[in-house]
Amino acid sequence: MFILRQLEFKQVPIASCNLSLLQYRGFKNRGFPNRAMATVDLDQRASRARATAESNGQGHVFNHWDLLTEFEKNRLLKDLEDLDYGYLSRVFSASMAATSGGPSFGIVQPATDVLQLKDTPPAQAAEWIQHGYRLIAEGRAAVLLLAGGQGTRLGSSLPKGCYDIGLPSHKSLFQLQAERLLRLQRLAAAATGTATSAVKPLHWYIMTSTFTHADTLAHFEAHNFFGLAREQVTFFQQGFLPCFTEDGKLILETQGSLAKAPDGNGGVYLSLARSGILDAMAAAGIECLDCYCVDNSLARLGDPRFIGYCHGVANADVGARVVAKAYPEEKVGVFALRRAAPDSTTGPDTASPGALTVLEYSELDPDLAASTDPSTGHLYFNWSNICMHYFSVNWLRNVATQLLAGGSTPYHVARKRIPSVIGPVSVGSAGCRNSRRVYRSPGQKLRGVRERLGHQRTQPQESTPTDQGSQRSGSRHQVGALHL
């Protein structure tokens, strides 16, 4: 299924952004090399950083300062100097407010505006496919891969994309997907009557993380980019956010460093902008992206029917392929209409009308998750987010401009126990404490959209996660069946 929405965002002129002051996800210039380091005295830097931390209620991060080596002091100061306290405060407050009413706070109703493929006349679907192939052949469409995760739950410290799901060929997920990209280029050439050599290479943008970037590049180099032209593959890294305690305090992972975590797949918006990729896309004539996650071994990347419909028929800013939930307790996010937090100055009646959003499974009340529609017998909250999206490049640029100018939306809150310094411990010792990690999924930025329509797919043909060891066998068999 696709869920497509036309989004309405206030336009922020690029000229209104002071580029020298742009921040990246709460860490100024985080993840971008060649940032000039201040050459001021260490004590002066520490004095300023301490004053700023204390004025923002985070003075505890200096509790172990006198125990640190010079190297550790510099590392902690770099972490602190990179922080945008104002942005982080807004993120934490908005994220906590979004869940202040407990699970499913503010939900109005499930998303129901769904267009199902089984109800689409074949001739109509063929027109969408042809338009999609034309976009691909002309270089107006590209593919975006979210590949920042490690294969920890698969028993590997390597990037998930390097994982071998057990096929006889022992091809990695990266290789399977690269070969599908090559095949898609040939299909686009045949469908449009274009010589294969005249078809523009389908560009593949791959978002990595600090944990996966080097290994991902090495994997592609070792396999000669799986037959793809090197210039059609672009790698970039997602950002980070610090972890917080339940009451909003920054957590020290060690005495000389903050606890941090990747900012989620939704970090792609700013990562694309700050790396210069969005501007490069626009300059290259790329109008839209097909987005998916690396651990989906069945991903039909660059699906011409999906992008052809979104671009040529719906004129959509954003689209989402979705599948029906298998059972109420399935650990997948769902699309829903969610009312914004009430305005404290005018009361709950002025809350904004329901806006499309993605609810993580942990955010959906169990009773709501199990409720069914008596007219259909299906779950009310039935349409799961499989992280397969369509984005127009113009929309991405508008969103990034607003975020860079200081805008923010609530993040998901993940409650976890993470390694942490606890009290005045000896150097090198650590423990665990309860924390709140905030992160964003791509669907999180759908808040504030005007509903348009949707589209359903059947799960075995489009999505199978390879996120746990127990799922490896199922993924292997389903990939095998797909190619029979």
Beta bridge partners of 207: 146, 236
Assess if residue 52 is contained within a domain. Answer: no
| Residue type present at position 248 | G
Assess if residue 176 is contained within a domain. Answer: yes
Assess if residue 338 is contained within a domain. Answer: yes
Across 175-203, b (16+ Cβ under 10 Å) vs e yields: bbbbeebeebbebbbebbebeeeebbebb
Beta bridge partners of 347: 343
Beta bridge partners of 434: 417
DSSP state letters, 386-437? EEEEEEEHHHHHHHHHHHHTT---PPEEEEEEEEE--SSPPTT--EEEEEEE
Write the CATH number for 90: 3.90.550.10
User: For each of the chain's 484 residues, which pLDDT tens digit applies?
Assistant: 554 444 333 333 222 222 222 233 444 444 444 334 444 589 999 999 999 999 999 999 999 999 999 999 999 999 999 898 988 887 787 777 666 555 555 666 888 777 888 888 999 999 999 999 999 999 999 999 999 887 767 777 789 999 998 899 999 999 999 999 999 999 999 999 999 888 999 999 999 998 899 999 999 999 999 999 999 999 999 988 888 888 889 999 899 999 887 777 678 888 999 899 999 999 999 999 999 999 999 999 999 999 999 999 999 999 999 899 999 999 998 988 876 554 443 333 333 446 778 888 887 888 989 999 998 889 989 999 898 999 999 999 998 888 777 665 555 566 666 666 764 322 333 333 444 444 344 444 443 333 333 455 544 455 555 554 545 554 544 554 444 3
Assess if residue 235 is contained within a domain. Answer: yes
Instruction: Give the H/E segment covering residue 216.
Output: helix 213-222
What is the Cα–Cα distance from 339 to 150, expressed in whole angstroms?
A: 34
CA angle 360, 362, 367 (to 5 degrees): 105
Assess if residue 54 is contained within a domain. Answer: no
Tally the domains of the chain: 1
What is the Cα–Cα distance from 50 to 63, expressed in whole angstroms?
A: 10
Residue whose C-alpha is closest to residue 444's, from 302, 273, 270, 211: 270
What torsion, rounded to 10 degrees, do the Cα atoms 294, 297, 298, 304 define?
30
Assess if residue 430 is contained within a domain. Answer: yes
Assess if residue 131 is contained within a domain. Answer: yes
Backbone angles phi, psi at 135, to 5 degrees: -60, -40
Assess if residue 252 is contained within a domain. Answer: yes
Q: Which domain holds residue 221?
A: 2-30+82-482
Q: Which residue has the tokens 């651990």?
A: 295
CA dihedral sign of residues 429, 435, 436, 441: positive
What is the Cα–Cα distance from 73 to 228, expressed in whole angstroms?
A: 45
